[in-house]
Chains A and B, each alone.
Chain A
């Protein structure tokens, strides 16, 4: 780990001033400290923002408000969130371990860097870590890598389960800087690698995530997260599916479907959603819609299995949420 200056801020202004001078915000630190130890991240100044007032969870008729410093474990266990946004609770509690969920913040979760082993090994070529150096993952050990949203420059999956749920639920990220505040739809927050994989999100330098908001709707109660992985627990997804359905009068009125573990960013599936709306719930509907999950997939040498796996993951979760 490289030496760094450390400061603790208790006002938003102090945080933004430090951020504008290249200070690196830290909340839970579960990713950042790990990457600093591996020297992948080398901030000169680390700014502890845990003294800022972004720790509230509020559920109203309009939707859910979550401060960026709320811990994963707190949001997951919130009684109203568990009852009205089960997708969020499930995505959170299927991520990491109890110890990590107690530390990791909601804002930090969506700022997670890739878990690609070549990104984390400073001796490997990685366009994300060292732009222009190449990508050792594409023709290397690529079993865990992405099949959707990739480019010749990067094939790393986005590691966050929460982000998949947020994309399905049309969450909005509120950010603040010395210039003011702005709102970013979470769909626009995560950037595909294209030819600039080092740009992972649309946050500008010095901007601070203050909260997330999630609009309410009939679909949020009938929602859930399925995560398929190499072992039962405490592992990243090979494929995952976030599904939220609005079913009334025996017809699917609205559908939100997103997948994780297979794409470079949390991946919404609009064609699957279109195929569901207006249909009667049932095995045929779920199977036909899930077949549209992987259009445009580009498998690598060792991860072609993900094409069928993600289709089956979507189908199974549609059955679980929508009934057979």
Chain B
């Protein structure tokens, strides 16, 4: 079922918070970095239709909107995290047509007709994806902020076949930076899931 989200008529909490902080002129938060808070002329808007976690979704977005902001702000899927917003940390990793990408570094309007899988789309009902369960079994969660991106990247790493050794897993997970030192347990979770797959 298609849903339409019109940002002119739906002011969401996160959008409101972002707009308020920009108006207050907090250092480091300029309107340039908050594409949703500044209105764009009509010819700078586009309608995007794509399949997210198996469901057809439609949204009208400012052309500046990243795929990450489309997911979080327009489609109410906040599981994908915004870390650096510069493609450096991997917290926003999602699968686009089965390939892992940084959702922050790609424009939503470039994904017309794409199939997107986010962390919300991995479990089957109450049954977790094997890698999600392995993260719990191996205590790979730590603070949890980087976890959705780590899991999505790990799912792709296994599908790509880059799990021949712990060194290979580390190299191919290096796009997911995390400062909490959880890597060892994350590598174990990926290693176990790859063996059982």
Contact = CB atoms under 8 A, between A and B. Distances in A.
Interface of A: 1-6, 8, 26, 28-30, 33-34, 36-37, 39, 46, 48, 50, 73, 96-100, 102-103, 232-234
B110 A26 contact: yes
A6 B109 contact: yes
A4 B63 CA distance: 7
Interface string B22-65: 00000000001101001011011010000000000000001110
Contacts of B105: 29-30, 33-34, 100, 103
> Main secondary structure on chain B at its contact with chain A?
mixed
Nearest to A4: B63
Contacts of B100: 98-99, 102
A6 B175 contact: no
B85 to A, nearest CB: 7
A33 B33 contact: no
B44 A1 contact: no
Contacts of A1: 32-33, 35, 64
B172 interface: yes
Contact of A103 (B35, B101, B172): B101
Given A6-B63, A8-B112, A102 B87 contact: no
Contact of B106 (A3, A46, A103, A232): A103
B35 to A, nearest CB: 6
Contacts of B160: 98
Contacts of B170: 233
9 contacts: A1-B35, A6-B46, A30-B106, A37-B86, A96-B175, A99-B87, A102-B101, A103-B101, A232-B174
Contacts of B99: 73, 102
A100 to B, nearest CB: 6
A46 B107 CA distance: 11
Interface string B158-179: 0010100000001110111100
Given A1-B33, A100-B105, A234-B174, 10 more contacts: A1-B32, A6-B46, A6-B107, A8-B112, A29-B107, A30-B106, A73-B99, A96-B175, A99-B87, A103-B106
B117 interface: no
A34 B41 CA distance: 22
Contact of A98 (B44, B46, B86, B156): B156
Given A3-B40, A4-B44, A99 B175 contact: yes
Contacts of A33: 66, 105-107
Contacts of A98: 100, 153, 156-157, 160, 162, 172, 174-175
Contacts of B171: 232-233
Nearest to B156: A98
B99 to A, nearest CB: 5
B189 to A, nearest CB: 17
Contact of A3 (B62, B107, B153, B175): B62
A46 B108 CA distance: 13
Nearest to B112: A8
B90 interface: yes
B159 to A, nearest CB: 11
B87 A100 contact: yes
A46 B44 CA distance: 11
B93 interface: yes
B102 interface: yes
A34 B89 CA distance: 13
A236 to B, nearest CB: 12
B130 to A, nearest CB: 20
A48 B110 contact: yes
B153 A37 contact: no
A97 B174 contact: yes
Which among B38, B85, B87, B99 has the greatest number of chain A C-beta atoms within 10 A?
Answer: B87
Contacts of A29: 105-107, 110
A2 B64 CA distance: 8
Contacts of A30: 87, 102, 105-106
